[in-house]
Every structure is written in structure tokens, then in C-alpha cells.
Amino acid sequence: METLKHWTRDWKYPTTLLCIYGFFSTVKPLEPFLIPFLTGPDKNLTIEQVYPKPTKISGCCDVLLRLWRDFLQCFSSRTLLVWSAWWALATCGYNQTVNYVQSLWDYVEPSSNFTVYNGGVEALSNLFGAAAAYGIGFSSADWSRWGEVALGALSALEGGALFAMVFSANIWVCYCGYIIFKSLYMLLITIAMFQIAAGLNMERYALVFGANTFCALVLQTIITSVVVDSGGLGVDIVTQFTVYGTYFSIIALIFFLSGLYTTMCRKPETETQREYPEEMFKVCNNSTTSCR
């Protein structure tokens, strides 16, 4: 019995179980009889239907080609491109802020000298962010017209909240700044997702959302390597958040000026349909008349 207990605690026991599982999971005793059964006289199936011949173009290349075409078609829309660009840029800055905010709080007010409420602030920021994202659903704002201006203005508030966190020596100001920052991001990312999804077929949501998230992670890796990592600049936590505040201020300036230009040079209503090629594609497919 002791030998058995010792053996079950050793690495050989789980390895043996995995090997047994792997063996029996690959044993398929019915496989040799499956095709003859399906092609029998009572099934009315041919061998080509049961076991189709491979196409000339490999499946992998076909999928990659289709993804590339879908990608180009999706991002040919300026509207989708603008919202996706903000998504990638803002998500990068948001992730950096969330990842290192605890270090900033500990710098402003060391936990050894203060009863910290970091966990409560995180919970409260999520609550306010969720409320803001939910409440915006009741808004009747024309985001197709004022969306870029809103992105610029609210991104400026995010940058201001980060600067307040950096240059204030009060932990409560830091807490309030973080709640404002996170709530604004959750509000804007909700609007961005809706605006992007409105101009896409459902089958392409994963492609566009995944591409935006991937770009955000690439940017985040670059910023971490340059600003945070010891192999790069390796700056202190105050300088880091100064960089993040400046980063959001630059985003705000770009999108605000772009929004003003778009609003002043807004196209007539009959021409705005070109901004959503995906929607035009769906309309053409559902219409009985030809699209010209």
C-alpha cells in the first residue's frame, strides 16, 4: 500500500494516465467500417460525398487570402479606420495606466503609512464605467458627425486626469483621477465598438476587433520596452505617467482637429453611404434590383 501511495505521488503516475488517455482517445475501431457503411445501398451516398477530393488551392492559403481581402475591404472605410485607430491607441494607453497605477499610488501614499483603498477604487471605477457605458445607450447623439470631436475632447479629459494624478500629492485626487480616466475609457470604447459594428457584417466582427486589439498590444509592447523596461529608458513612475498623460493629449489633439475638419467639410447625405461599403454590400445582396 505504501508503495502504491508513493507511486501515485511520483511523476510516473500522471504521465501513465496521460499516455493511457492519449492511446484510447486515438483508437477509432469504427473508422475502417465508416465509409463502406455510408456508401452502402441504403444510404444513397457516393464516395465523393463522403470523402471529397482536396481542392487545388490548399485550405490554409484560401483562408489567408480571404482574410486579407476582408481586411482590406473592412478598413477601406474612413469611418471604421478612424474609430479603429482610436481603439488601438487608447487601449494601449489604458492598459499601461491600469498596469502601473498601483505603483503610482504607492509612491504618492506608501501603504505602510496609510490605510489604502486601492481595491475599493478599482471596484468603484468599474461601477462608474459600466454606468457610463450603459447610460450612453440612451443618448441620441449623432456619432457619425460628432464622434471624432467627442473622441478628442474626452481623450483630453483622460489626459488631464492622468496629469492630476501625477502632479498631485494627495492620494484622494489620484483616486478620483483614476475613476474619471477609467470611466471615460469604458464610455468611449463602448461607442467605438458600436460604431465599428454598425458598418460591418457580423462575420467580420472578430477580424476587425482582433486586429484592433493586436495593434494595441503591439503599441503597448513598444512603449513598455522604450519607457518602462530597464533596457530602454527605465524612467521612474512619475515620469511614466507624465508620458501617458502626454500620450493621451496627443491623441486628443489629433482626433479633435480631425473631427473639426470632418465636420466642416461634411459630405452631403447622399454621398455618406460610401463611408460604409459593408452596409452597401448588405443592401445590394438583399435588394432585388441591381446596385449601380
51-70 average pLDDT score: 66
CATH 1.20.1250.20 domain locations along the chain: 62-265
- Listed in sequence order, the residues at least 6 apart from 183 whose beta carbon sits closer than 8 Å to its beta carbon are 125, 128, 129, 131, 132
Least confident of 26-35, 202-211, 260-269, 277-286: 277-286
267-272 average pLDDT score: 47
**How many CB atoms are closer than 10 A to CB 119?**
8
CB 232 within 8 A of CB 135: no
Q: Which fold has domain 62-265?
A: Growth Hormone; Chain: A; (1.20.1250)
Q: Which pLDDT score, from 0 to 100, does residue 145 have?
A: 78
pLDDT, averaged across the chain: 80
CB 107 within 8 A of CB 237: yes
Backbone angle region of 235, left / alpha / beta, with phi > 0 → left and psi within -120 to 50 → alpha: beta
| CA triple 13-19-23, angle to 5 deg | 150
Q: How confident is the model at residue 270 (pLDDT cuts 50, 70, 90)?
A: very low
277, three cell numbers: 461599403
In whole angstroms, what is the distance from residue 4 CA to residue 190 CA? 57
